[in-house]
């Protein structure tokens, strides 16, 4: 609890700053190093003695060398002993208890206590001066600590802390911010449920009521002196975000700011949202002295708003889903499920509207009736699944070759009706021919597709949509009767086909007179028919053999063929040393599709 007082906190901060300055001064070199100075002094002394002894040795003054060595040892306290030794190990001079305590360096290098310097004579290494110094004070714990940088640092830290503490304590007593707000005002603010702050011009807190301090788990007195922008507001890290705080805006604009919001994580770790209002505090002269800020917790209100928004969003999604289902139901009600063309009922409704509009505006309107040739044989030979695929392929071509304004509907099983607004009979026939050519070029599941088409136009004296469809249907019948895979228009083409049929009937009546020739012709036709039946039988036999090995509906290998192929593949894998993988798949929704959309949809899936 003692370290929570502002005086101690500030004292510790100042001591740390002082220690950092001392460390910086030591790194730069402003703090002298006594051990380094002592080593330099010993080095220079040793080198001076070696030079002096070298000069004496050149002159042969060996007695002078001995006397000088004894005098240096007696007069210098740091030198314990010294000697001069030749390379042969002969001692030329000795001073102090050198032989008992001298230890030659192992690696040949001098140490702080054992120094050896070469002495030259006649430019040759003649001898070595051995000097044994006293240990440095750094090797002594008490003396080393007293004379080291660490000792200086500890002294400055302890002494500085005591000095800083007494000075700051006295200063804070004189500058106590709590004295700004009277105690009765503090108690009045503590009663309020809203959080209240009074900040000075530097946004330092001079008063915080109990409600605001509880958000941080502190007492109101502990909040005094803190800055309002340093209270841990969420999403308020950059200088630009800090400048947008309400009390900053009040200090800048001089106007009251309302309905701002700030996010905060309280002492329990829970994120809360506060509505903030800020106003200026002035003195008697009207000069700004700070700001008064109120904080209202709106977290629960925001949560309710979020729940309400979520509910509205869910309702909107449900509404959109309902609309989508309504559209889907409308499509199912108006469109054929296999081809997605208009069904007969929707086709009639839209056809009636276009017919009435064309009649009133005296514009062109044409109708195409389309029928797939030999469709029954496709179902009998390849199955209904292939037949459905053929119908769907024809419908896709009709929709591709028509305009957006045209109407394409499925009129019956394999019959389609196409309504072409603003097109006369000739242009409608061209469209029909283009559709016929496009379908003729397509092969669906190995089946060659052709269509017969009948075309009629509003200009052919029709008064009802049914009459227009009937005319196109009659033209379609004429196209099928005249050989299929062709387009017949109601009018000139239809009359030509009808005349050909009439001429054929007359020809048949005349041909009754030549029975013998007809018998010969009949025999030839019979022979051709026999050949056709034999070819058909052979084709059916090949088809039966094919469907014994391949599935009728999907065209995939049957189970027996599949197992046979797998056996061959496994044997080949054993010979060539590779693995064979088998994937088994089940369509889980097939039953539901069959029950909801019908047999054809399930078969198509």
Are the beta carbons of 290 and 206 closer than 8 angstroms? yes
DSSP 94-156: EESSHHHH----SSS---SSEEEEEEEETTEEEEEEEEEEPPPGGGSHHHHHHHSHHHHHHHH
Which tens digits make up the pLDDT trace of 206-217?
Answer: 888 888 888 888
Average pLDDT of the chain to the nearest whole number: 79
Which tens digits make up the pLDDT trace of 524-568?
Answer: 666 666 666 766 666 665 566 565 666 766 778 877 778 878 887
Distance CA 386, CA 391 (A): 9
The pLDDT, as a whole number, for residue 407 is 94
Distance CA 333, CA 338 (A): 13
Distance CA 344, CA 67 (A): 139
Distance CA 453, CA 488 (A): 6
Please, which residues have CB within 8 angstroms of residue 105's CB and are 6 or more apart in sequence?
Answer: 111, 114, 116
Distance CA 193, CA 210 (A): 9
Distance CA 130, CA 342 (A): 120
Which tens digits make up the pLDDT trace of 30-88?
Answer: 666 666 777 777 778 778 877 877 777 777 777 887 788 788 888 887 788 888 888 77
Burial class (CB in 10 A: 0-12, 13-18, 19+), 541: exposed
**Number of Cβ atoms within 10 Å of the Cβ of 211:** 20
Which tens digits make up the pLDDT trace of 359-402?
Answer: 898 899 999 999 999 888 888 888 888 999 999 999 999 999 99
Render the burial of 568-594: b for 16+ CB within 10 Å, e for the rest.
Answer: eeeeeeeeeeeeeeeeeeeeeeeeebe
Residue 433 φ/ψ, nearest 5 degrees: -65, -40
Q: Parallel, antiparallel, or unpaired: how do β-strands 257-265 and 233-234 relate?
A: antiparallel
Catalytic pick from 130, 203, 414, 415? 414
Distance CA 559, CA 554 (A): 13
Q: Is 302 a catalytic residue?
A: no
Verdict on whether the full-model pTM lies above 0.75 = no
214: its two tokens:
């509880």
Say whether pLDDT at 503 is over 80. Answer: no
Distance CA 365, CA 367 (A): 7
pLDDT band at 421 (very low <50, low <70, confident <90, very high): very high
83: its two tokens:
């000697």
């Amino acid at each position: 609890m003692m370290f929570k007082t502002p005086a101690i906190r500030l004292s510790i901060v100042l001591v740390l700053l002082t220690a950092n300055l001392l460390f910086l001064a030591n790194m730069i070199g402003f703090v002298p190093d006594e051990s380094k100075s002592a080593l330099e002094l010993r080095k220079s002394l040793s080198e001076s003695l070696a030079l002096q002894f070298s000069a004496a040795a050149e002159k042969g003054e060996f007695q002078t060398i001995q006397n000088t060595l004894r005098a240096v040892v007696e007069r210098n306290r740091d030198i314990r002993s010294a000697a001069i030794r030749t390379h042969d190990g002969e001692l030329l001079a000795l001073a102090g208890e050198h032989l008992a305590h001298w230890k030659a360096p192992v690696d040949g290098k001098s140490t702080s206590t054992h120094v050896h310097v070469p002495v030259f004579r006649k430019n040759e290494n003649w001898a070595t001066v051995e000097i044994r110094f006293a240990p440095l004070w750094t090797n002594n714990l008490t003396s080393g600590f007293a004379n080291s940088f660490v000792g200086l640092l500890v002294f400055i830290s302890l002494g500085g802390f005591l000095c800083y503490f007494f000075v700051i304590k006295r200063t804070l007593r004189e500058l106590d911010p709590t004295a700004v707000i009277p105690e009765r005002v503090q108690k009045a603010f503590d009663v309020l449920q809203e959080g209240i702050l009074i900040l000075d011009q530097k946004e330092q807190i001079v008063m915080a009521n109990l409600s605001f301090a509880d958000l941080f788990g502190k007492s109101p007195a502990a909040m005094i002196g803190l800055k309002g922008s340093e209270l841990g507001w969420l999403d308020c890290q950059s200088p630009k975000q800090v400048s947008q705080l309400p009390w900053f805006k009040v200090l800048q604009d001089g106007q009251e700011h309302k309905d701002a919001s700030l996010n905060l994580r309280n002492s329990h770790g829970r994120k809360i949202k506060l509505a903030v209002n800020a106003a200026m505090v002035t003195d008697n002269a009207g000069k700004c002295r700070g700001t008064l800020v109120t904080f209202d917790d709106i977290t629960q209100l925001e949560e309710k708003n979020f729940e309400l928004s979520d509910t509205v969003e869910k309702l909107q999604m449900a509404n959109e889903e309902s609309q989508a289902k309504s559209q889907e139901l409308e499509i199912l009600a108006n469109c054929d499920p296999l081809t997605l063309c208009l069904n007969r009922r929707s086709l009639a409704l839209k056809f009636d509207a276009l017919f009435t509009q064309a009649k009133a505006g005296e514009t062109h309107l044409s109708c195409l009736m389309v029928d797939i040739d030999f469709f029954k044989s496709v179902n009998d030979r390849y199955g209904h699944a292939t037949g459905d695929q053929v119908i769907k392929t024809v419908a896709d071509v009709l929709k591709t070759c028509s305009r957006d304004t045209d109407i394409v509907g499925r009129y019956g099983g394999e019959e389609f009706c196409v309504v072409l607004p603003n097109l006369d009979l000739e242009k409608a026939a061209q469209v029909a021919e283009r559709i016929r050519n496009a379908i003729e070029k397509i092969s669906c599941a190995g089946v060659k597709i052709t269509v017969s088409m009948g075309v009629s136009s509003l200009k052919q004296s029709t008064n009802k949509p049914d009459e227009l469809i009937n005319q196109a249907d009659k033209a379609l019948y004429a196209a099928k009767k005249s050989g299929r895979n062709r387009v017949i228009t109601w009018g000139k083409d239809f009359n030509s086909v009808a005349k050909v049929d009439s001429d054929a009937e007359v020809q048949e009546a005349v041909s009754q007179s030549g029975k013998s020739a007809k018998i010969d012709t009949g025999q030839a036709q019979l022979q051709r028919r026999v050949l056709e039946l034999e070819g058909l039988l052979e084709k059916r036999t090949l088809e039966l053999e094919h469907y014994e090995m391949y599935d009728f509906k999907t065209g995939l290998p049957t189970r027996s063929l599949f197992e046979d192929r797998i056996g061959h593949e496994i044997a080949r894998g054993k010979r060539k040393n590779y693995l064979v993988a088998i994937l088994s798949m089940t369509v889980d929704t097939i039953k539901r599709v069959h029950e909801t959309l019908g047999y054809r949809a399930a078969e198509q899936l």
